[in-house]
Structure 1
Amino acid sequence: MKLGVDVFLDSFEKDFSGQKLGLLTNITGVNKQLNSTIDLMYNSDLLNLHCLFSPEHGIRGNANEGEHLDSTVDEKTGLPVYSLYGEVREPTAEMLDGLDVVIFDLQDIGSRYYTFIYSMANMMKACAKYNVKFVVLDRPNPINGFQVEGNIVEDGFTSFVGLYPIPVRHGMTVGELANYFNEEYSIGCSLDVIQMQDWERKYYYDEMDLCWVAPTPNVTQIDMCVLYPGTCLIEGTNVSEGRGTTKPFEYVGAPFINADELTNAFNNLEIPGVKARPVFFTPHYQKFKGEPCAGVQLHVLDREKFNSFYTGVKLLEIIYNLYPNDIEFIKSLDDSQFYFLDLLAGTDQLRHALLVGKADDWLNETKPELERFIQKRDKYLMY
């Protein structure tokens, strides 16, 4: 198969000759041979790469989650790097001044919470406003393009971890999402998507002849990405989601948890495709830094049967039922009027359901809206 960047450089590079280009990318912007998209475009005899745009975690992936970034200069190329995760999250007129085209080349991980797709959407809005063309170099959804899970973001609960009403696991590529955002939410930018060649929706990333480049410091490998749509919900509590360990979003625990008790309670549910084992870990940063924690590691046994979002909700429910005096729902750092779980879930109904033991009822109530999304997305699928 060929990635969008390889198709672009093989077949479309000459079409952009003489135009001033901006590039929104990071360390995942590489071709199949792991050559940097920045370097390939900067060293091209045909292309005029004028500036870079940086998403969360920075252009070189060296910033932690939530860390605000200043605009800077890229040491390797000397190009200006405009931060889209600092003072502004939508590019300004000054950032886009003189540009003819902005190119997007970022690897998403297939989950609504991941901020890269909203940096893309914000760039699309700015390009529409300032009459700049926007081009997406498409990349695989690493957890396949079939499975769709979770609820839809409600009005009043949009944020940078849920900017549009899409489900938690959307089953789309970034190129498909770009077309979806552009049409469904009337962004109206001049948009081209450079499609991949020979990608099939059934593929997980580790089933392809591609090297995995971790998009951010806590994205380890594909099983972690499969778990993330569910276990990221743990971020909305005072329980550790495993940040600061070698298994983020696979480890879940806290000093107040009994590992065997939580493991047995989880496994007794017999959730398809997944099993827990007891673990003990000490995070080196973030929640419970330097404190011994106990909990579970989730192991995905059958990806096709496994529903990550359902699993995350049930794990939260178990922890709340076992440790109601210890677990806490934490407030958002960006907007303290919201519980962070509500922003992740895109609703306060999940939190309320957990408090009264009605998580299954809430999950059942979300099914019709998920079906409506699946029907709506059909016309935007390119593969």
Structure 2
Amino acid sequence: MGFNIFKNTVLLFVFIMISCASKAKSKIDLKNKVNLTIQNDSSVVVGANQIKAYLPILKGKRVGIVANQTSAIFRKEKLQTILVDPETNEQSLGHAVKKDTMTHLVDSLISLKVAVKKVFSPEHGFRGRVDAGELVKDGIDTKTNLPIVSLYGKNKKPTKEQLEGLDIVIFDIQDVGVRFYTYISTLHYIMEACSEQGIPVLILDRPNPNGHYIDGPTLEIKNKSFLGMHPIPLVHGMTIGEYAQMINGEKWLKNGIQCELTIIPVKNYTHNTFYSLPIRPSPNLPNDQAIKLYPSLGLFEGTNINAGRGTEFQFQRYGAPFLDKKTLAFSYTPITNFGAKYPKHKNNLCYGEDLQNEDLNGVMTLKWIIKAYQNSTDKSLFFNTKNFTKHAGTDKLQKQIEAGLSEAEIKITWQNRLEAFKNTRSKYLMYD
């Protein structure tokens, strides 16, 4: 009995310490706490959570899954606290508290006796820890012993052999709605390969955190690459499910073939619904602010400017050693860290701007890249022309910036193609 009382007292102490730590953290990180609460308290239900809707589709089938760390099923579990009276040593139940938990889709399906045979891994890897642009290797998942097939290594499109023996492929990856974010290119190749082999694709849809607007230059097909495969704006305003329907409908797959699609839509979601991602979608998008600024600062990936990689504020700052420190006085030094083994200007002092508190919503802006170019002490160092064109989707943008055009003047040149895209997009929308 004495041991049980001691054990319960220790448990109570641990619970109090965790509660105190949690309160302290909420004070330090109030903004993120509020965002998380909004998402958790909302009625949005992602496709993966709707197990009853898709489990019958998987029954008796050999399943492949395109997944990464964001392929999660979210739950709320009740935790009951145990209180011990210090005078009488009597135990009583305290208030039940709800704790947010998540399980990986692969683990959940295996526990439900679904015959998962293979995992396909996109850029950044199955567990989401690989640097941007770094090759992902084939392997074995140590938790499930499932074979992992890389779609960001020797081939980006699954081969006939890699799909052999599968009856259906699930695609469940959190996207951020930006053309050069490569998960939509992986989606294209999955749909194409599966349609060629007569394998249906099941998409578990998720919200697009940048889904409330459309902006940026539209890709010209001559500049097609894995950073952009289709004639869409830089910010496309669609979920993965909607985008898959557009790929099919516009016959963008090889030879105009179409993929057999089943989409489990997000419940209680519109394109104007705020959604704070509970899991970072890739190593260098750590929070809501980075995701919001990514369409604008992502263009720096095609320059010699560091966009916060090698710091804890990825896509929330920019800088380089050759920017004018009188005008851009903020400074930082990129170092090797999680998600960036070799950041631009590693171990060198960079001058630029801190954008952690920048309020930007519903628009992508060129003001920072124009400002950085204008304040470059050696403009020949600024652009990596080939890579910048891939990110922009057009060779015109670099020329416009070099010619000194203002943001307003450049954006005017985008409007006709943006309007044409909006008309096309409207045919495939699943949400208001």
The TM tier, using the shorter chain, reads: 0.7 to 0.9
- Give 1:15 deviation, angstroms: 2.6
CA-to-aligned-CA distance 1:320-365 (integer Å, 9 cap, x gap): 222252452454xxxxxx6111000001101111121125433211
Q: Which residue of 2 aligns with 1:272?
A: none
SS of match in other structure, 2:370: helix
- Check if 1:377 corresponds to 2:425: yes
1:191-234, Cα deviation, whole Å (9 max, x unpaired): 1111111112212222xxxx610121101111111111111111
In structure 1, what is the equivalent of residue 262 of structure 2?
A: 192
| Equivalent of residue 146 in structure 1, options 197, 202, 212 | 212
Residue from 346, 349, 352 that aligns with 2:396: 349
* Residues paired across the two proteins, number: 351
1:4 equivalent in alignment to 2:47 = yes
Cα offset for 1:252? Answer: 0.5
Contact 2:293 2:360 in 1 (8 A): no
CA distance in 2, matches of 1:187, 1:112: 22
Contact 2:73 2:103 in 1 (8 A): yes
**Inter-CA distance 215–341: structure 2 relative to 1 (3 Å threshold):** same
**Structure showing the higher strand proportion among its residues:** 2
Q: CA deviation at 1:260?
A: 5.3
Give the ranges of 4+ consecutive aligned residues of structure 1 lying more than 4 Å apart after TM superposition: 299-304
For 2:118 and 2:356, the matched residues in 1 are separated by: 42
Name the SS for the 1:32 alignment partner. Answer: strand
Q: Secondary structure at the match of 1:217?
A: coil
Q: Give the match for residue 222 of structure 1.
A: 288
**Alpha-carbon distance, 1:6 to partner:** 1.2
Quick check: 2:373–2:382 contact (8 Å CA) kept in 1? no
What is the DSSP-based 3-state SS (H/G/I as helix, E as strand, rest coil) of the residue aligned with 2:234?
Answer: coil
CA contact (8 A) 1:241 1:251 kept: yes
* Match of residue 307 from structure 1: 363
Give me the TM-score of the superposition, normalised by structure 2: 0.78
Structure 1 stretch 357-366 or stretch 85-94: which is displaced more? Answer: 357-366
Residue 21 of structure 2 is aligned to residue 21 of structure 1: no
1:38 is matched with 106
1:156 is paired with a residue of what secondary structure? helix
1:162 is aligned to 2:228: yes
RMSD: 1.6
Q: Mark the CA change 1:307 to 1:11 in structure 2 (over 3 Å): closer, same or farther.
A: closer
State the match for 1:290 in structure 2. Answer: 347
Matched, 1:321 2:378: no
CA positional deviation for 1:244: 0.5
Alignment partner, residue 368 of structure 1: 416
Aligned residue identity for 1:41: L
Q: Does 1:339 align with 2:386?
A: yes
Structure 2, gaps ≥5 residues long: 1-43, 76-101, 337-342
How far has the Cα of 1:299 moved from its partner? 4.5
- Indicate the structure (1 or 2) with the bigger Cα radius of gyration: 2
| Equivalent in the alignment of 1:279 | 330
Counterpart amino acid of residue 26 in structure 1: N
CA distance in 1 between partners of 2:227 and 2:381 (Å)? 20
Give the secondary-structure state (helix, strand or coil) at the position aligned to 1:150: strand
Partner deviation per Cα, 1:26-55 (whole Å, 9 max, x = no partner) = 00000123210010112212x210100000
User: Against the structure 1 CA distance between its residues 110 and 259, is the aligned structure 2 distance closer, same or farther, given a 3 Å change threshold?
Assistant: farther
In the alignment, which residue of structure 2 is the partner of 1:266?
A: none
CA distance in 1, matches of 2:410, 2:350: 30
Q: Distance in 1 between matches of 2:380 and 2:313?
A: 21
Q: Is the 8 A contact 2:221 2:230 kept in 1?
A: no
* Amino acid aligned to 1:6: N
- The correspondence for 1:248, drawn from 310, 314, 323, is 314
Cα contact 1:349–1:362 (8 A) shared by 2: no
Name which of 173, 179, 204 aligns with 2:274.
204
Contact 2:307/2:315 (<8 A) preserved: yes
- Name the counterpart of 1:269: none
Equivalents in 1 of 2:387, 2:297: separation in Å? 14
Q: Which runs of 5+ in 1 are unaligned?
A: 263-277, 332-337
What SS class does the counterpart of residue 162 from structure 1 fall into?
coil
Q: Secondary structure at the match of 1:205?
A: coil
Q: Any conservation in 2 of the 1:69–1:83 contact (CA below 8 Å)?
A: yes
What corresponds to 1:82 in structure 2?
149
Q: Percent same amino acid among aligned pairs?
A: 35
Query: Does 1:105 find its partner at 2:162?
Result: no
Cα distance between partner residues in 2 of 1:151 and 1:187: 27
Query: In 1, distance between residues paired with 2:315 and 2:414?
Result: 24
1:261 to 1:330, Cα distance in 2 relative to 1, 3 A = closer
Shift in alpha-carbon separation, 1:69–1:302, aligned structure 2, 3 A: closer
